[in-house]
Amino acid sequence: MDDAGEKRREIIGEIEAVLDALSAEERQKKQEVIEERLFGFANFMEAKVVLLYMAKVGEVNTLEIIDRSLARGKVVVLPVFNRESSKTTLYKVENSKTDFIDGPEGCRVPDPSKCKTVPINHIDIAIVPGQAFDEKGGRIGIGDKFYDKFVQKLPITTRKVAIAFEEQVISQVPTDSRNKHIDIIVTDTRTIYKI
């Protein structure tokens, strides 16, 4: 087993323990602050086409962000990753109540029969999930590397932004040449620009 992989799992375990120790009320307050900071963030406010994600365990919940973005007239796009073909398809979502179906591992995904595809070069800002981040834009995802590959394909003009609880920001994330950094992290206490 490689040392970097073991270190990533150790970091994720430590962060999960800290987040699990928060009360439901504390976590909800932090979630609300993150949402307000994101919606007040100039790059997000100016973006017309926003790539979001459906959160998994350990990630900031995005359902309310999706609904608020739709209410503000943004084009909301979510990725669907196909493990067999290693292909990513981007779908425009217009209604969070009707445009999703159950996907792999119990995660909701856009319904291809209801949602139109969107070319990757139309994305103005990409909100990228993760389990841990550092101030230089390093990121640890859930381990499937789909986002590492996907972020590489985004246009250079697309802002790559993470939303995270402050507890998910650590001093250094172990990375390798396959990891792609994000530009900005919005937490419940600050906005971090990659240095």
Q: pLDDT tens, 1-56?
A: 467 778 888 999 999 999 999 999 999 999 999 999 999 999 999 999 999 999 88
Measure Cα distances from 143 to 61, 88, 114, 134, 164 in Å. 18, 16, 29, 17, 17
The neighbouring-strand residues paired with 170 are 134
Q: Summarize the confidence of residues 148-171 as an average pLDDT.
A: 93
- With H, G, I as helix, E, B as strand and everything else as coil, classify residue 43: helix
Query: Can you tell me the distance from the alpha carbon of 125 to that of 48, in angstroms, rounded to the nearest whole number?
Result: 8
CATH number at residue 73: 3.40.50.10420
Number of domains composing the chain: 1
Q: Quote the pTM value.
A: 0.91
| C-alpha dihedral sign at 18, 32, 45, 91 | positive
- Domain range for residue 29? 3-193
pLDDT of residue 175: 74
pLDDT of residue 195: 57
